Amino acid sequence: MKKIGCVVSLLLCTLFSLSLNSQEIAKQYFTKQINPQLAPKLDGFLDDSIWDKVEWGSNFVEVSPDENTSPTEDTKFKILFDQKYLYVALLALDSSPNSITQRLSRRDGFEGDRINVLIDSYHDLRTAFLFTVTAAGVRGDEIITNNGDDFDDSWNPIWSAKAQIIKNGWSAEMKIPLSQLRFGNDNEQLWGLNVIRNLFKENELSAWNRIPVGSAGWVSQAGELRGLRALKAQKQLEIQPFLAAQKETYKAEVGNPYRDGSTSKLNAGLDAKIGITNDLTLDLTVNPDFGQVEADPAAIALDGFEIFNREQRPFFVENKNIFDYRFADNRNNLFFSRRIGRNPQIYTDTPDGAYADRPTNTTILGAAKFSGKTKNGWSIGVLESVTSKEYAEINDNGSISNALVEPLTNYFVGRIQKDMNQRNTFVGGIFTATNRSLSDKDSELRQAAYTGGFDFRHQWDNRTYFFQSNIVLSHVKGSPEAMLATQENLTHLFNRVDATHVQVDPNRTSLTGTGGMVEIGKDGGQNLNYSTGFKWSSPELELNDLGFLRRADSKLQFLNLEYKTAKPVSVFRNINLELNQFASYDFQGNHNRSQYQLRTSFRFLNNSRISSWITHKPRIYDNSALRGGPRWRFSEQNSKSLYYRSDERRKFYTKFGVIHSESKQNDISFLKFELDLNYQLMPALNFSLSSEFSKRPNKTQYISQKDFLNDRRYILGSIDQETLRTTLRINYSLNPNLSIQYYAQPFISKGRYKDLKYVTNATASRLEDRFQIYDPSQIQFDQNNYYFDDDMDGQTDYNIQNPNFSVVQFNSNLVLRWEYIPGSELFLVWSQGIRTNISTETELIDGFETGILDQQPQNIFLVKATYRFIN
C-alpha cells in the first residue's frame, strides 16, 4: 500500500513540476483615462478628437484558414476609459467596401462581417467576456469559460455599439459599462485582451494577438491590456419587473367545465441583478414567466427513456456554465435545471364521468442565483429555488375536490472551483439537494435527494497535455414504495431477471451510488490530439431529482484520436479525421458493447464541406430492452453517413445528408434523410427550412410483458416506423433592437406492428433462436386489443392493447421583440399547438392535412413588457 502511495505521489509531483514551454510573448496595448465630459460620441464614425489620445492597436495575424500569415485586410482598434465606461474604437479596412456583408438579426445573431473584443478582466487565462459588433450594428455578447470550451450567449449585459460603412471599410464604437465586467481591487489592473475580426467574404479570421493552430484555448492566447489605473469597483444593481397578459383558446369539450374554449390570466413578477461585490452577483426572480420561450421539439421514444430537451428559460440559461458538472457524457449532469418547474409527477385517478384540471407545469415561487469569479481564482455558484404545491381540481358531477400532483419542493445547488498553479490546474466541487414536503399519501416520490462531486484538471507543456478526473456521489431516500419504484425504473432495473449483482429490496428506504471519470490526453496539438480514459456509474447512482442520468450500472473504457491540418492542403481548406473506440460493461462483468468509429470532415477552398462517419458495432447487448427481462442481444451492426454543406456565406446555402445503419442478421436497421435550406432574401430577412425523414424497421421491438403459468412472456413485434419532421424559421429584423421571428414545426410519426412473438433465448447467437413467433391461431384482434390463447385451450390467457400508433404534432411561435430602451423589452407572442392521433393507414404527407389542417389548434396570445431599472 505504501508503494502505491509513493507511486501516486510521484506521478502528481511530476505533473505539477513539468514546466511550461516558452510561450509567445503576448502583445501589449496601453490605454488611457479620460474626462467623462470628453467621452466620444457613440455614432460609429471615430471622428472625435479624444481618440487621438491613444495609439492604434494593429498588425493583426491570420487565425484561419492560413494561420500565422498576414490577413487579407488590415484591422485597427483603440481603447479609452473613465471611471464608469470602457470605450472601444474599431476600424475594419476593406479594399472593396461594396462587398462588406451587412445582415440584420436579433442580438447574438453573429451574421456577416463582425469584430469581437475579448476581455479577460480576471486575467485568469480561462474566463473572458466577449463583445461583438457586426457591420450592420448588431450586438452580440457571450461569457467564455474553460478557456474557450464553453460559450454562453444567454448573457445580455447593458452596453451600446454603433457601426458605419465608410469609404475605406467600416468602423464601429463600443461603450461598455465597467459594472458589466468583473475585476479586482488592484490599483493598476492587468486584463487579457484580444480583438478578432471575421472577414465574411473570405471566411477569414484574424486576431490582434496570435492564436496558433492547435492552441488549448482562446482565452489563454490573449494579449494584455495595460494602463487601467485607479478603477473603482462598479457594483451592479438592476431591477426588472414584468407584466404579462395571456389569452388561451382551444376546442371546447362538451360537459367539461375546465375546457370551455378559452382561458385568460394576468401575471406579474420581478427579476433583479445585484452586485454583492465587484466579482460576485446575486440574481433573483420572483414568479417568473417564460411565455416567450419556444416549445420543445416533438419526439417519440420507443425505448422508454426520458427525452432530453435543452434548457431555454432565460433565468436558468444565463451563467449556466458555472453550474455545469458533466461527469460521464455530454448529458449526464448533476444539475439539469429543467427539473425546477417540471411537469407534476403524481398521477391522480379521475372517476368515470368526472373532469380534472391538472397543471402542466409546477409554479416557481422564486429563485436566487449567486455567482461570479474572484480575482484570486475562486469560481462560485449557488442557486436556490422553491416550487409550490400543485393540485389537480376534480369536478365529479359538481362535487369539487383537490388532489396533490406535486409537493412543495426546495432545490439547492452549490458549485465551486479554484484555479492554481499559474492557471494550469483547477480543483472544484459541487453539492445539490432536493427536499420535498411529503405526507404519507405522497409516498411514491422520493423525499430527499443529495449529490456531491469533486473534479480536478491539470494541464502542462503550454496547456498541450491534460489529466482530468471527477467523482460523484448520490444519496436518495424516501418511503419503501418510492425506493421500490427507484430500484425498478429503467435507469436501474434491479429487477432484471438475470442480474446477480443487484436485487430488489422492498423494505429499502435509501440508495447510495457513485460515478466518475478519469481521462488523460493531448488537446493542444497542432495536428494530432488524443485521449483515453474510463467512466463509471454504479447501479445505485441516482441523479434525476435535480440532475440527468439516463442509465446507471455502467463501466466504459474509451480512446479518441484526432488529426487535423494546420494549413490549407491542395483543394482543401482544412481536413479533420477522428478515430473513436469504446467498450462498455455492467457491474456484473457483462461485456455489453464494443464500438469503433471513423469520422472525417473535408472543407474545400470554396468553403463547402463534406463530412462522414463509419461505425462498426461488433457486440451489442442491452440490459434495458426487455424492461426488467434478461439482457437482450442485438446482432452486429454497421452504419455510415454522408453529409454535404455548401458555403454558408452565400445568400442561399444548403445541407443534405443520409444516415444508414443495418445489422448483420437484418433484425434492425435505420435510414434517415436530412435536407436544410437557408435563404437570405435581404439583409434583414432570412428563411430556413429543415426537413428529415426516417425509417426504423425493427423485428424485435419490445411491446409488453405478461405472466403465463409459471413463466413470463416478453412480447415483441416487428415494427415499421416512419417519421417526418419539418422546421421552418423566418427572421425579420427591422433594426438591431426590433425583430419578428416565426418558428413552426409539423411532426408525424407512425408505427405498425406485425409478427408478434415472445422471447425464448434472449442472448442466442442466431436471431431465430431468440424468439418464437405466435401462431395466428393463438391471437385474436378486435381493433383495440390483441387476445392471446397461449396454450391453445380456447381460453384467453392474456391480452395487450393495440401497440400501433400514428402521432401528429404541430408547434409554432410568432414573436415580436422590441428592446425599446437598453435592457427593457416588449414581447408580442402568438403560439399554436396541436397533438392528435390519426389512422395508421394514413400516409405521412396526408397525415399533415388530417392531423393539422383539419384540427382546431390551441392558441396562446401573450403580451409581456419588462422595464429595467439600472443604478
pLDDT digits (tens, 9 = 90+) for 311-328: 878 788 777 778 888 887
Q: What is the pLDDT of residues 49-85, one digit of tens each?
A: 999 999 999 999 999 998 899 999 999 999 999 999 9
Of 542, 518, 520, the residue nearest 529 (C-alpha): 520
212 vs 119: CA distance, rounded Å: 19
pLDDT at 18 over 70: no
Please state which of the ranges 374-378, 675-679, 789-793 shows the lowest mean pLDDT: 374-378
pLDDT score, position 817: 94
Peptide bond connecting 65 to the previous residue in cis, omega within 30 degrees of 0: yes
Q: What is the pLDDT of residues 785-831, one digit of tens each?
A: 999 999 999 999 999 999 999 999 999 999 999 999 988 999 999 99
* 846: number of Cβ within 10 Å: 13
869: three-class secondary structure by DSSP: strand
Q: What is the pLDDT of residues 441-481, one digit of tens each?
A: 667 899 999 999 999 999 999 889 999 999 999 999 999 99
Q: For cell 452486429, what's the residue?
A: 636
Of 756, 806, 742, the residue nearest 785 (C-alpha): 756
Q: What is the pLDDT of residues 544-556, one digit of tens each?
A: 999 999 999 999 9
pLDDT at 157 over 90: no
pLDDT score, position 292: 66
304: left (phi over 0), alpha (psi -120 to 50) or beta: left
pLDDT at 331 over 80: no
The whole-chain average pLDDT of the chain stands at 91
Q: For cell 478628437, what's the residue?
A: 49
Rg (CA), the chain: 30
H or E segment at 813?
A: strand 805-821
682 vs 103: CA distance, rounded Å: 8
Phi, psi of 687 (to 5 degrees): -115, 140
* 743: number of Cβ within 10 Å: 18
Q: What is the pLDDT of residues 681-725, one digit of tens each?
A: 999 999 999 999 999 999 999 999 999 998 999 999 999 999 999
H or E segment at 11?
A: helix 2-17
pLDDT score, position 214: 76
Q: Computed from CA positions of residues 271, 812, 653, 612, in that sequence, does the dihedral angle turn out positive or negative?
A: positive
Task: Let me know: does 227 contact 32? Beta carbons within 8 Å.
Answer: yes
Which residues, other chains included, contact 511 with Cβ-Cβ below 8 Å and sequence gap of 6+?
474, 475, 476, 477, 483, 486, 487, 540, 542
* 260: number of Cβ within 10 Å: 11
Strand-by-strand arrangement of the 399-406 sheet: 355-357, 390-396, 399-406
CB pairs under 8 A, 24+ apart, for 823-828?
823/156, 823/158, 823/238, 823/240, 823/868, 823/870, 824/240, 824/866, 824/867, 824/868, 825/865, 825/866, 826/863, 826/864, 826/865, 826/866, 827/291, 827/292, 827/862, 827/863, 827/864, 827/865, 828/862, 828/863
Secondary structure of 528-591 in HEC code, one letter for each residue: EEEEEEEEEECCCCCCCCCCECCCCCEEEEEEEEEEECCCCECCEEEEEEEEEEEEEECCCCCE
State which amino acid sits at residue 270. Answer: L
Q: What is the pLDDT of residues 125-140, one digit of tens each?
A: 888 999 999 999 999 9
Q: What separation in angstroms does the CA of 345 have from each of 59, 310, 506?
A: 60, 20, 21
pLDDT score, position 248: 94
Classify each residue of 232-259 as buried b or exposed e, where b means 16 or more C-beta atoms within 10 Å of its C-beta. Answer: eebebebebebebebeeebeeeeeeeee
Band (pLDDT 50/70/90 cuts) for residue 147 is confident
Of 549, 543, 381, 345, the residue nearest 451 (C-alpha): 543
Task: Let me know: does 390 contact 362? Beta carbons within 8 Å.
Answer: yes
Which residues, other chains included, contact 30 with Cβ-Cβ below 8 Å and sequence gap of 6+?
54, 55, 226, 227
Band (pLDDT 50/70/90 cuts) for residue 432 is very high
Using a 10 angstrom Cβ sphere, with 0-12 exposed, 13-18 middle and 19 or more buried, the burial of residue 65 is buried
* 286: number of Cβ within 10 Å: 15
pLDDT at 21 over 60: no
pLDDT at 15 over 50: no
How do 28-30 and 223-229 pair as beta strands? parallel
Phi, psi of 486 (to 5 degrees): -65, -45
pLDDT at 20 over 60: no
How do 75-81 and 32-33 pair as beta strands? parallel
CB pairs under 8 A, 24+ apart, for 524-527?
524/214, 524/215, 524/216, 524/459, 524/461, 524/462, 524/463, 524/464, 524/465, 525/214, 525/464, 526/212, 526/213, 526/214, 526/566, 527/214, 527/563, 527/564, 527/565, 527/566
pLDDT at 12 over 70: no
pLDDT score, position 310: 79
Q: What is the pLDDT of residues 381-427, one digit of tens each?
A: 999 999 999 999 999 888 999 999 999 999 999 999 998 888 889 99
C-alpha cell belonging to residue 758 = 415472445
Q: For cell 456565406, what's the residue?
A: 649
530 vs 520: CA distance, rounded Å: 9
421: left (phi over 0), alpha (psi -120 to 50) or beta: left
pLDDT score, position 24: 67
Q: What is the pLDDT of residues 846-869, one digit of tens each?
A: 888 888 888 899 999 999 999 988
560 vs 530: CA distance, rounded Å: 5
Band (pLDDT 50/70/90 cuts) for residue 598 is very high
51: three-class secondary structure by DSSP: helix
Phi, psi of 252 (to 5 degrees): -70, 145
pLDDT score, position 442: 63
